[in-house]
Amino acid sequence: MMALITQCSPTDWVDAASRLLKAVWEPPALDYTPAYLHWQFTRPSHLPPLCFVIGDGEQLSCFVAAIGHGVEFNGETCHVYLSSHFAAARGSNGMNALGVLRAEGKAIAVADVPAVSFAAPGSLGEKVMRFVAVEGLMGKRYGLLPGYMAPARPNAPNAEMVDADVFAAARSELVAPAETLDVSLDRESLAHYETHPWTREFVVARDGSRSTATGIAGTLRTLTRSGAQTVATLSALRVRDPAGLAAMISYTARRFDTRFVSLPVCEHVGLEVLQSVGARRVPTEFGWHLYAKPGARLTEAAHIALEIV
């Protein structure tokens, strides 16, 4: 028998969701603190957040949220739902997991907007997603998202931290890669990044007056089998040339006192560019799915630059 599914605001469940996610996701995994989840659930978007749960105020057996994200694709900006933070307690009824995802899928279909989801191959989330029919939307499954680690190079050019306005102007000089679902960073989104519970800095590399790379430097808190760990990371990258990317990596490594920098979602930068700065592929656990109406322009996407959250 399927349990009662409740639709609610995800911000009302951050404590219970944090406990469930930490219990379900085996290390290495993100440290899903209540503060981090609240930041994710309050991203600026005209799309209202969606959340479906099974459980009470103290303990959840199933949880999923879909949060609006601004994306740029081939010169156009739109908002999509990112279905994220799905978790089902160990030993819970599989029909309950299917039920919360179906409820979310129906709500996304009613909203009539595209949706993106990340899922680990072979995980319950991916298995269930195969059976979720999002009415009116076509599902497209992509392969694993390659992650990379890159070393700092002592002879790399310099990059610098800038304020949001300077960052936005520099980023606008760089064209988003073709066929890439790129993150849209308007002023409201940049202001939200400034409130991130973990460090986030806007960084620009230049060659004279010309911007060669932009990105957001920061840290990720992860839980490993040996305890908590902080990893330096670069996200929302736009790169004109390899020297710009090398400058971004070196700045981030110096800023967070490390030899290596994580580039978790960066295949859109291009394999040749990544190899030229010494980046090496690391094991990854996530593939991505896109749901959109047949014939929608977003179905032409080949790459994604949204963060795995």
Could you report the per-residue pLDDT of 204-216, keeping only the tens digit for each? 999 999 999 999 9
Does 28 sit behind a cis peptide bond, omega within 30 degrees of 0 on the bond before it? yes
Say what the pLDDT of residue 145 is. Answer: 87
Total domains in the chain come to 2
- Please state, for a pLDDT cut of 90, what percent of the chain lies above it: 65
- Whether residue 1 lies inside any domain: the answer is no
Maximal CA-CA distance, the chain:
66
Q: Are residues 56 and 74 in the same domain?
A: yes
- Nearest one of 242, 237, 164 to 207, comparing CA atoms: 242
Q: Are residues 28 and 106 in the same domain?
A: yes
Say what the pLDDT of residue 110 is. Answer: 86
Q: Are residues 102 and 227 in the same domain?
A: no
Say what the pLDDT of residue 214 is. Answer: 98
Which range marks the domain in which residue 112 is found?
6-145+286-304
Q: How far apart, in whole angstroms, are the C-alpha atoms of residue 256 and residue 270? A: 25
| Model confidence at 243: pLDDT above 70 | yes
Q: Are residues 166 and 152 in the same domain?
A: yes
- Whether residue 309 lies inside any domain: the answer is no
Q: How confident is the model at residue 135 (pLDDT cuts 50, 70, 90)?
A: low
Instruction: Calculate mean pLDDT across residues 23-34.
Output: 91
Q: Phi, psi at residue 158, to the nearest 5°? A: -90, 150
Q: Are residues 121 and 186 in the same domain?
A: no
Q: Are residues 157 and 263 in the same domain?
A: yes
**CATH code (residue 130):** 3.40.630.30
Q: Are residues 137 and 261 in the same domain?
A: no
| Model confidence at 197: pLDDT above 80 | yes
Q: Are residues 169 and 71 in the same domain?
A: no
Say what the pLDDT of residue 130 is. Answer: 60
Mean confidence (pLDDT) of the chain: 91
Say what the pLDDT of residue 205 is. Answer: 98
Q: Are residues 138 and 23 in the same domain?
A: yes
Is 62:88 a contact under the CB 8 Å cutoff?
yes
Say what the pLDDT of residue 52 is. Answer: 96
**For residue range 263-283, what is the model confidence (pLDDT) as tens digits?**
999 989 999 999 999 999 998
Q: Are residues 184 and 119 in the same domain?
A: no
Q: How far apart, in whole angstroms, are the C-alpha atoms of residue 264 and residue 183? A: 14
Say what the pLDDT of residue 128 is. Answer: 60
Q: How confident is the model at residue 131 (pLDDT cuts 50, 70, 90)?
A: low
Instruction: Calculate mean pLDDT across residues 174-181.
Output: 88
- Whether residue 157 lies inside any domain: the answer is yes
Q: Are residues 141 and 152 in the same domain?
A: no
- Whether residue 86 lies inside any domain: the answer is yes
pTM of the model: 0.94
Is 86:57 a contact under the CB 8 Å cutoff?
no
**For residue range 55-105, what is the model confidence (pLDDT) as tens digits?**
976 789 999 999 999 999 998 999 999 988 999 998 887 788 888 988 888
| Model confidence at 232: pLDDT above 70 | yes
Q: Are residues 68 and 113 in the same domain?
A: yes
